[in-house]
Structures are given as C-alpha cells and as structure tokens.
Structure 1
C-alpha cells in the first residue's frame, strides 16, 4: 500500500507556534511602567534593537529567493517573519509610549533593508539556527540588565520566541539530513565551527553582524547601517556584559544540538571541525 506523504513541517509548526503566540496588548504589562527605572542609556539600546529586529524583512526576502524550490520552508517564513517583525513592533511601541523622542523613523528602519548576496541555503539555515540561540541568550541577559519592569518583560518574551524559532530551524535541519545526507552535515558543521568559536573572534557573531553584500562593503552588515554602528559591541561588553560565561553557554547549546542532530558527541568546536574534515576526506575518497 502506498505510504501517505509526510505532513509539511509548516503545518505542524504553525499549530505549535500559534498555540503559544503572545498578544502585544494583553500579554505585555504596559501598566507597570516605571519611568524612574529607565535611563537614557537603556532607552537608546532599545531603539537599536528595534531597528536590528526590522532586518527580518531583508532576511525573509533572502530566504524566499534562495529557497524557491522549497515551498514548505518558504511557507514557514510567513510565521518567522510575522513574529520577528512583531519583536521590532513591540520595542517600537515601548518607545512610542514612553520615549517617543527615540522611536525609530521609517527612514532609519528602511536603511537596514538591503539585498543580501545569494548564499548556500543549508549554510544559511545553520547560520540562522545559531543566530536564534545567540539572540535568546542576548535577550535573557538584556532582561537581567534592564531595571524597568515593562522592558524586562518584553525582552523575556522575545527571548522565548527566539528559542522556539531555533527549535523550528532545527526541525528543518533534521529534514535536510534525511534529504541531503553528508552534504548537509558538512554545511552544518562548517557554520557550527564558526559560530561555536565566537569568543575567539574580534566581533560578535550573529547574522546581523556579518557581511552579506560585497558590492556595498563595508556597509553591508545590518549593524553597520544603524544610527550608531558601534552600539552592538558596547551593548554586549559594557552594558549587558555578555561575558565568557554567557558566550560559553551559547557555544555549548550549539554543540549540544549538533551532537543530537549528528548522533555523536561534540565537546568542542575543534571536535566538530575534525568531524567536518573526516566527512570531506570520506567524500574525496569516494569520488
């Protein structure tokens, strides 16, 4: 008897994410705002994060362009794009209510909408999976740093969303392994080595901080197109103090998930890199 076609991941993910979706009016405690606990310094960082989250728009355009042959994943983008844009909207709404002088302008938001160069879809998928893990940790730390109750609640809410998005990307990575085998393993390991070694790099590793359009270099990262291009490093190092302990947590989560995905244990980025090299050597020998 012919086996039924497997359900698209989009269908399952829509139901799962719909069930836990938060409402901006009901679920954000706007009435608890305490102006005495919001500094100018903190409010400026909220503006920068609001504009950074707006970059989900060009990222979605990239995903749809580079995954034209994958309607399942492209449909999932409707969920991811909606929720990521809502992140930006929640931060903008916070500023509109409490610091309207810092609410980003449409021109400032539009500045981060630019075309990304085509890239291998499997590597991009892994990059954004790692990006969701990293952003979950950044927002958790931001919630601890802030002292004003409403923005603390917003960052905690966004952090939970980013964790769920990472889980969704992981589902598509599992599907890619069944479809593409070692090609997917090599792609995931390659990006995983980079993203799990961030504490050895000079700048924060996140999709919004990577060069994505050679023709626009050096203004071809999302961060470089913000009103304050240097804010991210200052936010991480001096404000939310995303130190080695937190960076290690990010690396451990990436390696843990790749260990589960690949069916073997990776205790370090070096072990993951050796695995990648073994795959490449095996492929070369087979060829």
Structure 2
C-alpha cells in the first residue's frame, strides 16, 4: 500500500494555519479590490475538492489504498479553501464567500475511467503549482503572497503522490495504463495551443447540468479564470512551458522514455492507442 508512507511524508510537510501564516504582517495598502476578488474566486474553486473527492471515492470503490489517500488530499485541498476564506474574513469580510456560493460548486460529476481521471488530476496539480507560484509573485500584500506559496508547495506534493499511484497502475495494468496516461497527458500538455489551458475545474463533467457543468461556470464570475491568467498573474508562454515541461519530464520518468516535445509524447501515445 502507498497510503501509509504518503501519510507520513505529507504529514511531515503539513503547515499550520494559525502558526505558519504571518497574519500580523498584513498591509492593507498593498491589497487592491481586484486582487481581493481573485482570492474569493480561488477560495470557491478550491471548495470543489468536495465533489471531486466524492467522484474519486465512487469511481475507485475497488481501490481502498487510493481511497484512503483521498482522506489526505481532501483535507489539504479543503484547507486551501479555508485559509483563503480566513484571509478574506479577517481583512476583506465583504468579499468572503457565502455558504451558498460555496455549495454551488458541489454537484455530481458523471462517472469516468479511473485511470484517465487520475492522469487528469495529476496534470491539474502540475498546472496549479505553477498558477499559484505566479499568483504569489503577482500579489503585493505579504500575507497572501505567503499563503499562495504554501498552496503551490502543497499542489506540487499532491502531484508527486498522484505520480506514485500512476507508477503502481503501470505495474498493475501495463499497456492499458500507458494508453490512458499518454492520451490525457497529450491532451493536457497541448491544451495551451488552443488558448485555453485545461484544468479539471474548467472541464465539462455532467451532462445533466450542461452547460453549467464545469466548476468555473458555477462561480459568481464564470469568466474570471481566463482574466486572472491572461491579464492579472500574466501566465504567459514561458509559464506555460514550465507546465508542459513538468508533464513531459514526469511522463518520461513514468514510461522510461525521453519526451522533449509534445510531439514525442504524441508518437508514444499512438503506440498504445488501441490498448485503452
């Protein structure tokens, strides 16, 4: 089982919201209304770990090891939402999300292949690591800069944990796992070309709720994410290259190959296209 060792490693890196966030360093003059609103949107987005966890537990009923790991992932992701809410509660209570706004992003996701979902969320963690790193750089207020740095480090650790389950899946499912991981990896690594980098929170996940079946579509401002990326934190081509590079490096290690470009990964994907 992977869960016991993952518990130990993630527990040792866990930060304390009361002790490890420098709340007393807050400087109101360095927080704009624009910045505060993006904190609210990220707080609500992080709350969607709740329906994602319900999805993971439903679709992995036969995998108690991974399901147990969800107890860690769910706790830490909900803490991300909580620390952002606490920041607003202390310093911009007028923008703190309401319970109704948080509950709006809790809806049932359609069942999906477990291996593809695992890969999708691994890529999501790689991307979110870089998004939050840029958010920390963009913000000027020291407390929120520190919070986003904590969140970025957490997302990187979560990506590492997902990768361990992906390695286990290769051992257990062989080419079926290679096909699923390379297909989704190709989709996620190439998504920037379409001008809309993919993340689990902006993908359609429920036919019943279409078109409001993405997490982002259910936020108070459904269009905030692209504006945040393009105009605010300025997640540019160099930033996107770090996401793609992270996906390619990790898949190179996972498959025992060398993927220098998305094209290299696509050629590998075609070898296993019929195994899924």
Quote how far apart the aligned CAs of 1:202 are: 3.4
1:36 correspondence with 2:29: yes
Q: How does 1:273-284 map to 2 (within 5 A)?
A: 273-280=266-273
Residue in 1 that maps onto 2:227: 234
TM-score, normalised with respect to structure 2: 0.99
User: 1: CA distance between counterparts of 2:34 and 2:113?
Assistant: 39
Q: Using the TM superposition, give the Cα deviation of residue 252 of structure 1 relative to its aligned residue in structure 2, in angstroms.
A: 0.5
Deviation for aligned residue 1:63: 0.0
CA deviations on 1:105-137 (whole Å, 9 max, x unpaired) are 000000000000000000000000000000000
Cα separation, 2, equivalents of 1:142 and 1:126: 24
Aligned twin of 1:215 = 208
Q: CA deviation at 1:269?
A: 1.6
Alignment partner, residue 58 of structure 1? 51
Structure whose alpha-carbon radius of gyration is higher? 1
Partner of 1:126: 119
Count of residues in Structure 1 that have an aligned counterpart in Structure 2: 276
Q: How far off its partner does 1:236 sit?
A: 0.1
Query: Which of 28-37 and 212-221 deviates more?
Result: 212-221
Question: Quick one: distance in 2 between partners of 1:40 and 1:103?
Answer: 13
Residues 13 and 168 in structure 1, CA contact (< 8 A), matched pair in contact too:
yes
The aligned residue for residue 71 of structure 1 is 64
SS of residue in 2 equivalent to 1:18: helix
Separation in 2, partners of 1:163, 1:91: 18
Tell whether the 8 Å contact from 2:188 to 2:197 is kept in structure 1 after alignment.
no
Work out the CA distance in 2 between the residues paired with 1:277 and 1:246. Answer: 28
Q: Does the 8 A contact of 1:62 with 1:116 survive in 2?
A: yes
CA distance in 1, matches of 2:175, 2:62: 20
Which of 179, 182, 201 lines up with 2:175 in the alignment? 182
In structure 1, C-alpha distance between the alignment counterparts of 2:185 and 2:172, rounded to whole Å: 19
1:250 corresponds in structure 2 to 243
Determine the structure 1 residue equivalent to 2:264: 271
> 1 CA distance for matches of 2:176 and 2:254?
14
Partner of residue 11 from structure 2, selected from 14, 18, 42: 18
Say whether 1:111 aligns with 2:82. Answer: no
CA offsets 1:67-106 (integer angstroms, 9 cap, x no match)? 0000000000000000000000000000000000000000
What does residue 27 of structure 1 align with?
A: 20
| RMSD over aligned Cα atoms | 1.0
Cα distance, 1:280 vs structure 2: 3.1
The CA distance in 1 between the partners of 2:262 and 2:205, in whole Å, is 24
